[in-house]
């Protein structure tokens, strides 16, 4: 009956093969098709070629011999027309099946394929064809309804094209693009050849009998192409993942004909990039480099020179051996040991050894330090290397360095001095260029980062317990000083370390925590020989334990009211700004809100000076704790980000008659204050600005540390605690972190817990937080 239903007895059923209905209707009319016996074979053949013919029941004399073969599936892709209506994120294609020598469109419904000039046919393997259609569907390929006038069978999502083609190739599919065969790539074969101070990387990929050079492939990847034109006119498939695996080769090297050229300082990077490849032919010179680089873990201990006044520990001698390794191969390196492990002492032993080796040919070394550490370097130098002639090149009366440098082995100066005198200093040839607290150059745009790159020295060394504080790009700035060009251009490195698609961070956040694991592994392997990082737990067995505790306090009622009002004000203003103007416009407001809310959590007077005399939960807790410790004869370090808050605590301690010392960025007589705290039993507390005193101080007289306000960079807090927990400390150290409950401080700790993965993977340091904030994080902070 009309509509494609069949009535049989008392039952009515839909006709599964709807096309058959047209055949039924054509035979129900008054006119029946008529043909002669001799015409029958031709008619049967013509019927079998029709795309919708059902299975025919024929007389024995007309029947065709049925043959069965395994078909080969084929996907034909078509470049979309620029004028077409096809969505740009998809391309169209046809599905075909090749039965022996006969091709059939997958969207047709014929059950068999007649063989010309034979009384036989090939029966289509419907189950196998359906399995192929199912595979396409499982891979995300969309089948197009063939009743809608569509010219093609399927739509293929471009963002899944690499995975789809790989799976189809593996399953035996034949793939064409615009009627040209698509060829699957074979293994990538590399060759590395060495020059005087460079390495050339050449290579090729085989596509059947045709090869394509690595630069051609990488250029195609850089353009976003997924194919390359082969010499025989066919197309070579370029897997999308090669862009991440090999694209960095192109971005970090200079093109050189059919190869890529790297500098000698990039040897470890080249080795890391090629380490997972099975076909790499290294020349003899590069193999020697690989062997020497691989052996750096086994660097033997190097004893301090006889003239050195002191005895290095074994791990420090290992560090001295590593410094010797860098010196031998003329590499720059970063000594990134934990705070308190004696980085300064190791460098002084190195410089003393250089002094004994350079008789008559001495060049001075330049040591660049924060102003707060000048005294420490000079005093440590006098104590451990008294024959090392050190020049204090700081202060208004420092004179001209070119004139005064002669006759000195080491010059100690500040980052500020180098920034101001970079053009004069670049004319002096130094032996070693040494940056202490080298995170000072983490931002490549700053004047000081540019200034230190102008300096000239045979060897370069950086000291920093936290080479990465916030972003992976900080690593580029550091290594551009240590080994210029090693990590390529900043743009190339930024592309390499950029967050992967799908993360919703603000633009230009440079968030460390979102780079891929493959990128982390690559960078870790590449920089491994140039960074030495040991923790106290690994190397100092006799260091007393360190315990950290978080103490929560509740704001007073007046504090709570002020804090809530401030929070609601900034919450509404920030979310409105982010929604209407975007993250770029909101950045400054974000920082302002966080600072003001942190201040309100500490003391109302930091936000409103008229309330300076009001009570504060934190001040009460901190002063009580210091009073208790002082009464028991203990010494305590008290740290805060806010000098005004330290001032409030200072007044309260004075009121209770507790003797204390104080240090912030304006303090001039640092050494005297440190000495008094260390040696005077009457001094119970040392109030220290976290920024001014978080590094470079040896305060082992204290065994208690009080952090008045948490910071989202854990390394900064760790540095503060390690003023007391370091070599020379004989007693357990207990650190308390005071956190105001239900404030931004508590939220910061929560967010901090899951935002510290990348730098650990690269250098076992820490990540930051402010520049990683997302909108949902902001709502948590201010919610």
**β-bridge partners, 227:** 237
Could you tell me if 429 and 451 lie in one domain?
Answer: yes
Q: Does some domain include residue 635?
A: yes
Range of the domain at 341: 332-539
CATH of the domain at 663: 3.40.50.300
Q: End of a domain among 485, 514, 539?
A: 539
Could you tell me if 502 and 552 lie in one domain?
Answer: no
Stretch (H or E) spanning 392: strand 390-392
Distance (Å, whole) CA 779 – CA 571:
8
Q: Does some domain include residue 310?
A: no
Could you tell me if 359 and 400 lie in one domain?
Answer: yes
CA–CA distance from 744 to each of 191, 616, 706, 781 (Å)? 55, 16, 19, 6
Could you tell me if 607 and 728 lie in one domain?
Answer: yes
Backbone angles phi, psi at 542, to 5 degrees: -100, 10
Could you tell me if 259 and 206 lie in one domain?
Answer: yes
259-263/198-207 β-pairing: antiparallel
Q: Does some domain include residue 307?
A: no
Could you tell me if 594 and 725 lie in one domain?
Answer: yes
Of the CA atoms within 13 Å of residue 617, those in its CB half-sphere come to: 21
Q: Does some domain include residue 685?
A: yes
Q: What is the pLDDT of residue 293?
A: 65
Could you tell me if 604 and 490 lie in one domain?
Answer: no
Q: Does some domain include residue 351?
A: yes
CA–CA distance from 290 to each of 248, 267, 269, 529 (Å)? 20, 8, 11, 11
Q: Does some domain include residue 17?
A: yes
Could you tell me if 392 and 519 lie in one domain?
Answer: yes
Handedness of CA 498, 504, 508, 513 (dihedral sign): negative
Nearest to 335 by CA among 476, 537, 539, 531: 531
Could you tell me if 534 and 601 lie in one domain?
Answer: no
Q: What is the pLDDT of residue 239?
A: 81
Q: What is the pLDDT of residue 360?
A: 65
Cα torsion 574, 577, 579, 584 to 10°: value is -100
Q: End of a domain among 487, 517, 539?
A: 539
Q: What is the pLDDT of residue 252?
A: 77
Could you tell me if 656 and 515 lie in one domain?
Answer: no
pTM over 0.95: no
Average pLDDT, 10 consecutive residues per value, the chain (783 residues): 64 62 60 67 68 66 82 89 66 92 84 78 91 94 74 87 86 88 85 85 86 83 80 81 73 77 80 81 86 65 93 92 88 87 93 86 90 86 94 86 85 95 92 94 92 95 79 83 86 68 35 53 76 82 82 91 92 84 76 89 92 92 93 93 94 95 87 91 93 76 92 77 83 91 82 50 39 48 53
Stretch (H or E) spanning 458: strand 456-463
Question: Based on the structure, what is the number of domains in the chain?
Answer: 5
CATH of the domain at 345: 3.40.50.10810
Q: Does some domain include residue 305?
A: no
Question: Would you give the DSSP letter of residue 677?
Answer: H
Could you tell me if 527 and 488 lie in one domain?
Answer: yes
**Helix/strand/coil for 68:** coil
Residues in the chain: 783
Q: Does some domain include residue 733?
A: yes
Q: End of a domain among 266, 294, 322?
A: 294
Could you tell me if 448 and 461 lie in one domain?
Answer: yes
Distance (Å, whole) CA 273 – CA 252:
11
């Amino acid at each position: 009956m009309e509509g494609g239903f069949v009535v049989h007895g008392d039952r009515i059923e839909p006709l599964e093969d709807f096309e058959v209905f047209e055949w039924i209707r054509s035979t129900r009319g008054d006119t029946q098709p008529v043909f002669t016996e001799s015409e029958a074979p031709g008619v049967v053949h013509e019927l079998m070629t029709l795309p919708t013919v059902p299975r025919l029941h024929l007389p024995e004399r007309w029947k065709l011999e049925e043959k069965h073969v395994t078909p080969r599936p084929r996907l034909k892709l078509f470049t979309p027309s620029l004028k077409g209506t096809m969505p740009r994120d998809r391309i169209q294609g046809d599905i075909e099946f090749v039965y022996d020598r006969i091709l059939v469109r997958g969207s047709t419904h014929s059950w068999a394929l007649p063989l010309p000039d034979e009384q036989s046919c090939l029966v289509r393997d419907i189950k196998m064809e359906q399995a192929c259609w199912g595979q396409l569907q499982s891979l995300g390929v969309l089948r197009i309804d063939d009743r809608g006038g569509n010219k093609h069978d399927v739509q293929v999502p471009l963002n899944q094209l690499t995975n789809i083609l790989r799976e189809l190739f593996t399953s035996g599919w034949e793939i064409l693009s615009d009627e040209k065969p698509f060829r699957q790539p074979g293994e990538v074969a590399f060759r590395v050849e060495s020059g005087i101070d460079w390495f050339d990387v050449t290579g090729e990929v085989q596509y059947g009998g045709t090869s394509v050079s690595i630069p051609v492939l990488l250029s195609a990847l850089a353009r976003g192409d997924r194919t390359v034109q082969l010499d025989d006119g066919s197309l070579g498939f370029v897997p999308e993942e090669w862009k991440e695996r090999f694209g960095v080769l192109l971005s970090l090297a200079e093109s050189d004909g059919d190869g890529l050229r790297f500098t000698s300082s990039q040897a470890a990077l080249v080795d890391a990039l090629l380490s997972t490849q099975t076909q790499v032919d290294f020349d003899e010179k590069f193999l020697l480099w690989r062997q020497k680089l691989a052996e750096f873990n086994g660097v033997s201990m190097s004893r301090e020179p006889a003239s050195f006044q002191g005895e290095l520990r074994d791990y420090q001698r290992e560090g001295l051996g590593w410094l010797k390794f860098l010196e031998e191969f003329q590499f720059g390196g970063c000594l990134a040991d934990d705070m308190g492990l004696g980085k300064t002492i190791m460098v002084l032993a190195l410089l003393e050894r250089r002094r004994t080796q350079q008789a008559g040919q001495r060049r001075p070394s330049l040591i660049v330090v924060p102003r707060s550490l000048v005294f420490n370097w000079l005093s440590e130098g006098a104590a451990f290397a008294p024959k090392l002639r050190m020049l204090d090149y700081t202060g208004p009366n420092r004179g001209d360095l070119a004139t005064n440098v002669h006759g000195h082995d080491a010059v100690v100066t500040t980052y500020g001095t180098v920034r101001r005198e970079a053009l004069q200093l670049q004319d002096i040839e130094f032996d070693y260029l040494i940056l202490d607290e080298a995170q000072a150059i983490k931002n490549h745009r700053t004047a000081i980062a540019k200034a230190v790159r102008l300096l000239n020295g045979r060897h370069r060394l950086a000291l920093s317990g936290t080479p990465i504080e916030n972003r992976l790009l900080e690593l580029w700035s550091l290594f551009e000083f240590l080994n210029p060009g090693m990590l390529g251009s900043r743009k190339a490195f930024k592309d390499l370390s950029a967050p992967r698609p799908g993360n919703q961070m603000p633009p230009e956040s440079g968030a460390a925590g979102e780079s891929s694991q493959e990128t982390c592994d690559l960078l870790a392997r590449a920089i491994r020989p140039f960074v030495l990082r040991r923790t106290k737990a690994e190397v100092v067995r006799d260091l007393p334990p360190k315990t950290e505790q978080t103490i929560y306090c509740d704001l007073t009622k007046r504090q709570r009211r002020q804090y809530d009002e401030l929070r609601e004000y900034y919450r509404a203003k920030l979310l409105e700004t982010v929604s209407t103007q975007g993250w770029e416009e909101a950045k400054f407001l974000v920082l302002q809100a966080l600072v003001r809310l942190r201040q309100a959590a500490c003391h109302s007077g930091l936000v409103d000076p008229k309330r300076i005399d009001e009570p504060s939960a934190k001040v009460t807790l901190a002063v009580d704790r210091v009073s208790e410790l002082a009464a028991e004869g203990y010494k305590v370090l008290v740290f805060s980000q806010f000098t005004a808050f330290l001032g409030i605590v200072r007044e309260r301690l004075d009121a209770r008659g507790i003797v204390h010392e104080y240090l912030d960025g304006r303090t001039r007589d640092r050494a005297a204050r440190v000495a008094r705290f260390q040696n005077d039993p009457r001094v119970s507390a040392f109030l220290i600005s976290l920024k001014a005193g978080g590094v470079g101080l040896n305060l082992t007289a204290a065994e208690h540390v009080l952090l008045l306000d948490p910071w989202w960079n854990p390394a900064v807090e760790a540095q503060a605690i390690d003023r007391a927990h370091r070599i020379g400390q004989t007693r357990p150290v207990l650190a308390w972190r005071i956190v105001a409950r239900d404030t931004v401080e508590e939220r910061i700790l929560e967010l901090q817990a899951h935002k510290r993965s990348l730098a650990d993977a690269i250098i076992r340091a820490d990540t930051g937080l402010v520049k990683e904030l997302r909108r949902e994080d902001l709502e948590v902070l201010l919610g």
